[in-house]
A and B are shown apart, each in its own frame.
Chain A
């Protein structure tokens, strides 16, 4: 049996907020090319876990290792430059800028790094970056809204654009925090198709999701979080049949 290549390893992570033990003893291994879903009832600590991975929160103890590099203690921009991009639960976009510029900015970050004082060049002469952004927008089906202000997009389109902003960086790991929350059934299905398309390109993903339809159509592996602990781990079928999961999540709250 060959050892799978673990890209992300969350090792023995604890996170306390005062008296609240938000994350306890989390051990998570995400293998290259896989879509790893983290599910669990509200307040289980899913978003906290994502925030620890991306560097927004420092864990109380434990480490997060990405491809041999320790992420804990690094700033969000450093973590992104290592190849991790994140889609937020509430889209974090540049509302005042055009859709095209929204997608060009991450492409520039990928090419130029964390800081570059290039003020003599004209943005109009960045034809390569522009073409890349246009291709990306075509990929997510947003070419027609290219020149619109991002703030005026519909909720679903904002999420799709944010996804495009992440994908244009060709991240090695993509973190998705409820990518279909608040979307219509139609938009949800479009997003699932899009995520499947990315998957076929071999991008590793960690996805937090409430919608079981989305989880079971995308995930290779599922970890179930309840009260800050991982209570089950495995393939969708293993997790579906696990009685502990039934109790804590699938049956318990719904």
Chain B
């Protein structure tokens, strides 16, 4: 039952190695510190899950950050009430976000296309506003939900006395800070990728692709498409919940801004940038955006001055002035440009670029092949 084709196995092994070796190959890019690496893996999980709904099923959710935020809140509540251990926190977060996705999905999936997107956006903004103000007893409003010395932590208390300071999340007693935290998240990214790969290659995944391609035909072929789309929605919401929980595990606080529409839009960007409908694309998109956000935004004028020092006097000032608009606070500008270029020239995202390059090499080889069917990029 768990047999994999040779190609799938190679992809999975390649992905696993690439993820585990991130601290090594990200060194030259200046991104190999645990805090950022954790974010890379967490947002990759979010994007992989989002792709099951958007890339595979063709439903563009504009409110996925809601599940991400719910996951974070649920995890922090598990820390506060039960235990500082990561396992109950994650289990709780996945279950709660799954139920949340079931409710929102049930209503939103009554419509498709733009109306579906608007419904999810509306629900997410409602969730954001609830978290920000109305539900303050649960979410602690704009301060964000944090650990407290007075937290009961019933499970932990049953086994040991309260420690002196604020505890931090653990895995069966081992701390989850620094690289331990990264490898913990990386493990879940690998599992998440594996499950997504299995879903894509299953008859269920084929039905999701069928729904994306032609829902009318699916109906006249004898499929009740509603439970299929709802299942995809819930799975993808649970992925987001898992990602939100991991973010709370690496840094145990949860704020409402995590649920804002900009956060929802970011996942959409990640998936389209990397290549919607592909397995690896959303991961690459997530890494790229988080890289821009953290590295480009940290570049300032003095770094630029050093970088352009080789230019003659005067020219270096011009170069620094122009370049400074694209870094630091202006990193959004760079990201926007990259996004526009990719969508215009590579509608299938970075993965389409990869495919084209591979295609060039194949053509220069001597085996002419008929065009295989490929998943088309989402609109």
Interface residue ranges, A against B (CB under 8 Å): 54, 75-77, 80-81, 85-86, 88, 92-99, 101, 104-106, 108-110, 112-126, 147-152, 165, 169
Contact = CB atoms under 8 A, between A and B. Distances in A.
Nearest to A87: B220
Given A86-B220, A98-B372, A109-B222, A117 B206 contact: no
Nearest to A80: B222
Nearest to B277: A96
Contact of B202 (A105, A120, A148): A120
A97 to B, nearest CB: 6
B252 to A, nearest CB: 33
Contact of B373 (A109, A112, A147): A147
Interface residues of B, number: 39
Contacts of A124: 5, 201
B1 interface: yes
A115 B228 contact: yes
A105 B201 contact: no
B209 interface: yes
B361 to A, nearest CB: 20
B202 to A, nearest CB: 4
Contacts of A113: 222
B74 to A, nearest CB: 24
Interface stretch (B124-132, B138-146, B211-219, B268-276): B211-219
Nearest to B2: A120
Contacts of B4: 122
A121 B203 contact: yes
B371 A149 contact: yes
Interface string B90-107: 000000000000000000
A116 B206 CA distance: 12
A112 B204 CA distance: 11
A114 B222 contact: yes
Residue from B2, B202, B220, B231 whose CB has the most chain A CB atoms within 10 Å: B220
A163 B207 CA distance: 19
A128 to B, nearest CB: 12
Contacts of A93: 214, 217
Residue from A95, A99, A108, A152 whose CB has the most chain B CB atoms within 10 Å: A108
